[in-house]
Structure 1
Amino acid sequence: MSGRFITFEGGEGAGKSTQARMLADLLEARGLNVVLTREPGGTPGAEAIRELLLDNRHDWDVRAEALLFAAARSDHVENAIGPALDRGDWVVCDRFIDSSRAYQAGGDDLSDDAILSLHTIGSFALMPDVTFLLYAETDAIASRLAARDGDESDRIGGRPAEYHARVAQRFRDLAAMDPERFILIDASGTPDVVHERVLRAMAPLLGEGG
């Protein structure tokens, strides 16, 4: 079985990191070589850029922010994701290009074409094989964020509710535009319940039927 590139997307507090880790653990238990990674980050260079992007002391404008995300992703693809896929490994990534398309071209004022152009220059227009879009009701998300962050949100997570509403809508729009790649997952309930939903959706990719 050849390698696959799987991403988890969604707004703040949807449970992406937890579900990415649980899926990676399951794939490894089945004897597959798996690289679990995240964005921004995943390599030393990209992790350094992550610190700059999320630090509340910096007030990047939307263009600088998009360029920093694209630079981090370029390093990530060049030094982690690309080599893993070339080896035939499976890559499970917490966020990828669709987060830039939702946050910078949905929550902010850049166009989708601009974000995709940066992605073509920096990361050879690499796209995932499958993208799980996690969604849940606002109250459930708020509870998770309160448990996770308390009163200390990062520079992007702490933006106004209206911004995050635009991001959530943009994610839904992206999924509607590319239904063959996106799989919508109800992220309400416990992590184990959500993981079961992911596994059911994964069955065809694992050769287990529909």
Structure 2
Amino acid sequence: MNNPATGILITFEGIDGSGKSTQARDIHNALSLAGLNVRLSREPGATPLGEEIRNILLSDKVPVGNLAELFLFLADRAEHVQDVLRPSRSNGEVLLVDRFIDATTAYQGYGMGHPLSLIENLHKTILQEIEPFRTFLLDIDPLAASERIRNRGEKKNRIEERGLEFFQKVRNGYLEIAKQNPHRFRVLDATLPREELNRAILNDLEPPLLTHAAGRRTGG
């Protein structure tokens, strides 16, 4: 458990179309209404540099090689850690992040085939002592996720266009990461109703967040 004085990092993961962004927003709203010192962030795109990187990564206007893609995601993360995560920890905030380190391992490692050891070592340099307290993985079959994206009526971005085989690799990667890190992962069925997922996440978070809030009131 994080020291109450240093905040809590909670991450939301899942393949495109899993509903992770919706859950991150819903939980942020619920915790805000409960009076917690909570902040919502995302990767990529949480900083001015990150927003530029996000535009490059998701657009098909600029060709991006596989290795360059990996390092663009890591550049966004380095800036995010420096400008958002560390200040948030210092302020004792509950920080919710839509995608974090596990996304890179799942997408660029398991999905694109970059060495997992390379990604792990680069993350150690970027993160140092930072690690999520809890990671909620919204698990869904890639075909069902693709249907959700299609039903939105939006054009798929460059990564969403990669097809079912790629996203099955990413999903399997996520599940393997969760298996290796049972202390922080909670795997949820993303096809459950939105409100039911909200309740499951809030029920899981209630005990540690109450402890965190009590610690802040007494000075940590």
Q: What TM-score does the superposition give when structure 2 sets the normalisation length?
A: 0.88
Q: How many Å apart are 1:176 and its aligned residue?
A: 0.2
> SS in structure 2 opposite 1:84?
helix
Deviations 1:69-116 (A, max 9, x none): 000001011001110111101100000010000000010121111112
Map of 1:88 onto structure 2: 92
Q: Check 1:72–1:138 CA distance in 2 against 1; reply closer, same or farther (3 A cut).
A: closer
Map of 2:134 onto structure 1: 130
Q: Which residues in structure 2 correspond to 1:1-210 (within 5 Å)?
A: 2=5, 3-124=7-128, 126-150=130-154, 152-207=155-210
CA contact (8 A) 2:41 2:98 kept: yes
Deviates more, 1:8-17 or 1:110-119: 110-119
> SS in structure 2 opposite 1:206?
helix
CA distance in 2, matches of 1:11, 1:4: 24
Kindly indicate which of the two structures has a greater share of residues assigned to helix: 2
Deviates more, 1:192-201 or 1:45-54: 192-201
Q: Check 1:157–1:67 CA distance in 2 against 1; reply closer, same or farther (3 A cut).
A: same
Following TM superposition, the consecutive aligned residue runs of length 4 or more in structure 1 with deviations greater than 6 angstroms are none
Aligned-pair Cα RMSD in Å: 1.6
> SS in structure 2 opposite 1:92?
strand
Counting aligned pairs with the same residue, the percent is 36
Structure 2: state its 5+ residue gaps. 212-220
Larger RCO, structure (CA 8 Å, separation 6 or more): 2
> SS in structure 2 opposite 1:5?
strand
Alignment coverage as a number of residue pairs: 207
Q: How many Å apart are 1:138 and its aligned residue?
A: 4.2
> SS in structure 1 opposite 2:136?
strand
